[in-house]
Structure 1
C-alpha cells in the first residue's frame, strides 16, 4: 500500500511539474499587434486523464528491486493525426525507463495535436516521472 501511495504522489508531482507549452507569437508590424499562431499538444481529458491512464497501465512490480529515487524523462512526437511516435526515455533506472516506454506505447487515446495557423503540426512532448521507493 505504501508503494502505491508513493507512486501516486510521485506521478502527480512529476506530471504537475511537467513541460508546459507556451503559444508561439509573432509580431505584425502593420498593426502593432501580436498574433497567437500555435496551440499546444493536449491529451484528451487533460493532464488528470493522462495521470489516470498512466497509473492504470503502469506495472509497479518493475520497481520492486529499486531503492531511493528513480527519475526518467519520456519524450515523444505527437503527429498531426494525434498518434505518437519516436518514444524515448532517459533516466537513472533502466527498469523505469523500459516501463515508461511500454506504458506510452500502450496508451490508446489519440492526442489533440498542436496547431499552427489552424493546421495540425508535429510536435515533441515530454513526460517526467519520479518514483521514490523506501
Structure 2
C-alpha cells in the first residue's frame, strides 16, 4: 500500500500560461466516458448471470479492465503534460511578473484553494496515480512549484525531486485540479502568486 503525505508551503516568483488545464480535462472526460460505458456493459452481463462463480469471474474481468484503463489514461495524461510543457516553453515566461518576496507586505490576500489547504492536499492525493510511480526507495520526495494566475488557474507546474516518475505524476495531479484558486490580491487587483508544494510518498509493503 502507498500512502501520500503532503505538506504545504508558500513561496513567491514569476511565470504565466493560460488554458493549459483544457488538455487534461479533455483526456479525463474521454476516459471517464469510456469507463461509464464499460461499467454499464459489465453490469448488464453481471446482472444477467445467475451462476455465482461466473459472477465472480465477471467482476474480476471488470476490475482488470478498469486497471488497464487507468494505465492507458495515464499515458494520455503524460502526452498532455508534454504538450503543455512545449507550449510553456514557447512563451516568454519572463514577460509577466509575479509577486516577489520584497512585495509581501503589500499582499492583501494570498491565493487560496476552495476549502483551504486541506482540500488542496486531499485532491492532490486523490489525483496522484501512484501505480505510475516506480521506486526502490521506501520514501521519495519532490517539491512542486506552480503559479496561481490572476484568473485562479494553475500554470507552470514544475516538480523537482530525485524520482522522475514521482515528479511527473505530481505535475499531472496539479494540472488536473478540478477547481480554480481564488487569486491573490494586491492593491485591490488580482495578482500572480507562486506556491511550492512539498510532497512525500511513503511506500509500505
TM-score w.r.t. the length of structure 2 is 0.51
* Distance in 1, Cα, partners of 2:10 & 2:136: 26
Shift of 1:64: 5.0
2:10 is aligned to 19
2:191 is aligned to 121
* Distance in 2, Cα, partners of 1:63 & 1:133: 10
RMSD of aligned alpha carbons: 2.2
Contact 1:24 1:38 in 2 (8 A): no
1:2-57 CA distances to partner (integer Å, 9 max, x unpaired)? 42xx32xx22xx23xx23789933xxxxxxxxxx6431110111011111211221
Bigger share in helix: 2
Q: What is the SS of the residue equivalent to 2:10?
A: coil
Q: Whose radius of gyration is greater, 1 or 2?
A: 2
**Measured at CA, do residues 37 and 97 of structure 1 come closer, stay the same or move farther in structure 2, by a change above 3 Å?**
closer
Contact 1:66 1:133 in 2 (8 A): no
Bigger share in strand: 1
Contact 1:62 1:95 in 2 (8 A): yes
Shift of 1:68: 2.6
Unmatched segments (≥5 aa) in structure 2: 13-100
Contact 1:77 1:125 in 2 (8 A): yes
